[in-house]
Amino acid sequence: MALVKLLLQAYSDPGFKTKVADYTVFLNPESFSHKSENSYDTPRPPGSPADTPRFNYSSLGSVDFSLVLDGTRPIDGTALNVSDSITKLRAVVFNYSGKIHSPNYVKLTWGQFIFNGRGTSFNITYTMFRPDGRPLRAKVDLAFVHFMDANAAALTADRQSADLSHRHLVKAGDTLPLLCYRIYGDARYYLQVARHNQLIHFSRLVPGTLLAFPPLI
């Protein structure tokens, strides 16, 4: 049975439609950490004896792992150039791209595991060198945070809605930018939501108001 290697694919769009580069690891990581989280608000009214956490959002969180780049021996008949491999890997998962004015969007695929994210750290530790100073072996520590584009987030927010919209009953402390961030993943849609709900004083939401958050188009 052929060994399945971790594949890192770079995309230029948040919908992961246009692939621009990829990198197949030389040696699979020995360990791989995937962290998920549920976020809660914990308002405590005056005199309340205990916290009453209120669900905020779920997140697929982050992944982190280390890759060993070893140029001391061929693997599967291929000798690795450590410097070139680091340059290619960094370009795929971490470097700023002038075409999209940010680093690439990255899809990690390893067997049945698929994770869409963005690179948050890229740390190199060199452990062996040639006599002329060129690296022969290095460890690269990588970390990624989960990413979902606003359209997908809006559809995921309320899967049971017939029109794929989301409704929210305003509570004390809610603001429109914060609600947009929770539902769409981007606070900048607050003006669009305000127009959809015909809000005039959207900076002062009235508790008990039912707001509709439409699918993004």
Q: Which part of the chain is CATH 2.40.30?
A: 7-146
Helix/strand/coil for 115: strand
Q: Report the pLDDT value the prediction gives residue 171, as an integer from 0 to 100.
A: 85
CATH T-level assignment (fold) for domain 7-146 = Elongation Factor Tu (Ef-tu); domain 3 (2.40.30)
Residue type for position 82: V
Q: Grade residue 73 by pLDDT with cuts at 50, 70 and 90.
A: confident
Residues 25-65 have pLDDT tens digits of 999 999 999 998 887 777 665 656 666 677 766 677 899 99
Q: What is the pTM of this model?
A: 0.67
Whether 14 and 22 have beta carbons less than 8 Å apart is answered as no
Distance of CA 135 to the CA centre of its chain: 31
The CATH-assigned architecture of domain 151-213 is Roll (3.10)
Q: CB of 143 within 8 A of CB of 106? A: no
When mean pLDDT is compared across 60-64, 127-131, 164-168, the lowest value belongs to 164-168
Enumerate the CATH 3.10.350.10 domain ranges in the chain, comma separated: 151-213
Angle 108-28-110 (CA atoms, 0-180°, nearest 5)?
30
Quick one: average pLDDT of 74-79? 81
Q: Name the strand (E) or helix (H) holding 195.
A: helix 190-196
What percent of the chain lies above the pLDDT cut of 90? 47
For residue 161, what pLDDT is reported? 40
pLDDT the model gives residue 110? 92
